Chain A
Amino acid sequence: MIEVRWHGRGGQGAVTSVELLALTAIGEGKYAQGFPSFGPERRGAPVAAFNRIDDHHIKVRSQIYNPDVVVVLDESLIGMVNVADGLKPEGVLIVNTAKTAKEIAEITKFKGKIATVDGSSIAWKELGVPITNTTMLGAVIKCTNAVKIESVKDPVDHRFGRIANKNMAAMKRAYDEVKFN
């Protein structure tokens, strides 16, 4: 089972990300959960959202405390929230940043695998908005192989309609451009 925790701010689409990843995995015949950190939605507030993906029906319904993957949609959250909290040593920390993995390792003190991609620049260029949820999904798929990038198309089409192609383009760029330490 792969467990993913997403960090973002209210309004940045972390919940949409977990929905898309869960729907993609389910579309591939896998089992998945996607859920927000339960509570009221407040724009701008730090929020978390979660994914579990497995080959069997998933029984556990608690929050995720020891994720395999942590995704940070908004670099400014680092330092404000302990994003690496509970992240497995063999896990991966994926950050939307223009900084290098080395710099992120210094700030977060996370000693394991770190992946970086400048998702905000990609989102500005491809979508014209600084919303990085779909973009960062590309990086997550590249880092985890939890699902195939082609499988995202259906859920993205369904969700975004006319602007689905732009989202797919942003996602593919992040998939190609993500760098590891």
Chain B
Amino acid sequence: MSKRIGMEIAMAAAEAVALCRPDVIAAYPITPNTHIPEHLADIVADGDLDCEYIAVESEHSALSACTGASAAGARVFTATSSQGLLYMYEIVPVVPSMRLPVIMCLGNRAISGPINIWNDHSDYMCVRDLGWISMFASNGQETIDMCIQAFKIGEHADVMLPVLVNLDGFQLTHVVEAMMMPDQEEVDKFLPPRKPFAALHPDNVVSMGTLGLPDIYNEAKKANDEALINSKKVILEIWKEWETMFGRKYEPIMSYKANDADVLMLTMGSMGETAQVAIDELRKEGFKAGLLDLKLYRPFPADELKKAVKGCKNLIVIDRAVMSGGAAAPVCAEVKSVLYDEPDRPVITNDIIGLGGRDVRVEDFIKIFKKAAKAKPERAYEIYGVRG
């Protein structure tokens, strides 16, 4: 039976990962994901989890160790943030190309510089195109759930890909709140032991991470891209199974009061619920406002997005990262690309909010909403609340 608990979300993520019985954890704690690997190290040291915890000297080694262990057939986990992710960057695209289901929690944090330890999505945006399935949690419950789902999705025979569970640094990692924590029996029932497609073993020799010359690289890339695109089918199946088992529904794009909305906002991560409160306020004022919350960023849910915006006149895309010198902020650029061919696409505006830990308040969403309703801005995107 699941138990209602109060706990810091990072620690709860660690407990959820421990319930998945990982064989190997290699991590180098960095703010703000620190408590995830620290608490897992406690759980292993206390003898509550039979797992090899490798205290590595860097993130590059953390993901390298995870890659090796996963290739040997182990169930593996790591966690990082910001500069740590950049330090392991070299290995990040290797993992999906080797089709290894490494699971990683990314405690989203701004990247330097200026040096900043607070939350935004700029770390994730560096790795979004490298082949990992990517989900964004908007509260503690979703963090726990996605951590457990991630193993089942990534290890599925039709997927075999790494999964990134994004949780906003501080805004989620450091908050104590109430969650339903599944018990060991439930997780064991949901998540069987990993059955690797192939594993490094002297009795059954296999070469992994092979060279791809120009005559095969194209085909290898295409195969990986197809695997990522096709993983959505499995993700949806597993989310359905989760809903049946635990009663909590997951969709690539969750909507809130969106059915009859003229104006929709689209957010990702912990902003989602704060934005819901803004939608409630706007509804009270008579605006037909609604919210789309992007839970699955890779593979990008293009069909779901097209369906979700049908009938709405304005779409306000809220980004939490800058795509420097780009055509729009990252989420919006993709949204626009998806909707380009739609005959009655909405007018799309793009605001960047909450960079480097700038607080995101209910009234900020209301202001953005009212501004977008007035006139189309001159620039393709704006950094909301910037002074000057």
CB distance from B290 to the nearest CB of A (A): 15
Within the complex, which residue of A58, A62, A63, A65 is in contact with B177, where a contact is CB–CB below 8 Å?
A58
- Stretch in contact with the other chain, from A17-25, A102-110, A121-129, A168-176: A17-25
Name A60-101 residues within 8 Å CB distance of B: 60-63, 65
* A19 and B177 alpha carbons, distance in the complex (Å): 9
Give the chain B neighbours of A33 by CB distance below 8 A: 175-177
| Cα distance, A62 to B274, chains bound together (Å) | 8
Which residues of chain B are within 8 angstroms of A40 by Cβ–Cβ distance? Answer: 31, 117
Whose C-beta in chain A lies nearest to the C-beta of B270?
A61
Contact A61 B274, beta carbon cutoff 8 Å: yes
Nearest CB of B to A87, in Å = 17
CB pair A23–B176 under 8 Å, yes or no, is: yes
Least CB separation from A65: chain B residue: B361
Taking CB atoms, residues of chain B closer than 8 Å to A62 are 274, 359-362
A42 interface residue (CB < 8 Å to B): no
Given contacts A26-B178, A32-B176, contact A38 B273 (CB under 8 A): no
Answer yes or no: A35 CB below 8 A from chain B CBs.
yes
Residues of A within 8 A of B28 (CB): none
Q: Which residues of the other chain, B, contact A32 by a CB distance below 8 angstroms?
A: 6, 176-178
In the complex, the answer to whether B359 meets A18 with C-beta atoms within 8 Å is no
The answer for the CA separation of A40 and B92 in the assembled complex, in Å, is 28
Which residues of chain B from 256 to 301 have any CB-CB distance to chain A below 8 Å in the complex?
A: 270-271, 273-274, 276-277
| A31 part of interface (Cβ distance < 8 Å) | yes
Inter-chain contact count A-B, CB under 8 Å?
A: 73
Q: Does B362 lie within 8 Å of A60, measured CB to CB?
A: yes
Contact across chains for A23 and B361 when beta carbons are under 8 A apart: no
* B residues less than 8 Å from A58 (CB atoms): 177
The yes or no answer to A27 lying at the interface (CB within 8 A) is: yes
Q: Is A36 an interface residue (CB 8 A)?
A: yes
Q: Complex: how many Å from CA A21 to CA B62?
A: 36
B4 located at the interface, meaning its Cβ lies under 8 Å from any Cβ of chain A in the complex: yes
Q: Does A34 sit within 8 A of B, measured CB to CB?
A: yes
Given A61-B273, A61-B274, A62-B274, is A39 in contact with B177 using a C-beta cutoff of 8 Å?
A: no
Would you call A162 an interface residue if the criterion is a C-beta within 8 Å of the partner chain's C-beta atoms? no
Alpha-carbon gap, A35 to B118, bound state (A): 14
A60 and B6 within 8 A (CB)? no
Give CA–CA (A42, B31) in the complex, Å.
14
Q: Does A43 contact B (CB under 8 A)?
A: no
Residues from chain B with a CB closer than 8 A to the CB of A61 are: 171-172, 175, 270-271, 273-274, 360
Known contacts A23-B6, A40-B31; A34/B175 CB under 8 A: yes
> Is B174 part of the binding interface, using a Cβ–Cβ cutoff of 8 Å?
yes
Cross-chain contact of B174 among A23, A26, A35, A57 (Cβ < 8 A)? A35
Chain B residue nearest to A22 in the complex (CB): B176
Is the Cβ of B175 less than 8 Å from the Cβ of A39? no
Residues of B within 8 A of A155 (CB): 6
Chain A, Cβ-Cβ closest to B176:
A34
Return chain B residues, CB-CB under 8 Å to A23. 6, 176
Name the A residues within 8 Å of B361 (CB-CB): 62, 65
Interface residues of B in 3-30 (CB under 8 A from A): 4-6, 8
Q: Which residue of A lies closest to B119 (CB)?
A: A38
Q: B53 at the A/B interface (Cβ < 8 Å)?
A: no
* Contact status A59-B8, CB under 8 Å: no
The smallest beta-carbon distance between B167 and chain A, in angstroms, is: 12
Q: Which residues of the other chain, A, contact B171 by a CB distance below 8 angstroms?
A: 38, 61
Chain B residues, Cβ within 8 Å of A29: 4
- CB of B357 closer than 8 Å to a CB of A: yes
A-side contacts of B4, CB under 8 Å: 26, 29
User: Nearest residue in A to B360 (C-beta to C-beta)?
Assistant: A62
Bound-state Cα–Cα, A40 to B115, Å: 13
- Cα(A155)–Cα(B170), bound, Å: 22
**A31-B177, A32-B177, A59-B276 given; A22·B6 CB < 8 A:** yes
Residues in A neighbouring B139, C-beta threshold 8 A: 57
With both beta carbons as reference points, the residue of chain A lying nearest to B280 in the complex is identified as: A59
Given contacts A59-B276, A62-B274, contact A36 B359 (CB under 8 A): no
- 6 A-B contacts, Cβ less than 8 Å apart? A22-B177, A25-B6, A33-B176, A39-B117, A59-B276, A61-B273
Measured CB to CB, the residues of A under 8 A from B are 18-19, 22-23, 25-27, 29, 31-36, 38-40, 57-63, 65, 155
In the complex, besides A32-B177, A38-B174, A60-B274, 14 extra interface pairs with C-beta distance below 8 angstroms are A22-B176, A23-B6, A23-B176, A26-B6, A32-B6, A32-B176, A33-B175, A36-B174, A38-B32, A39-B170, A40-B117, A61-B360, A62-B361, A155-B6
- Cβ-closest 8 pairs across A and B: A26-B6, A59-B273, A38-B170, A34-B176, A62-B361, A23-B6, A35-B175, A22-B176
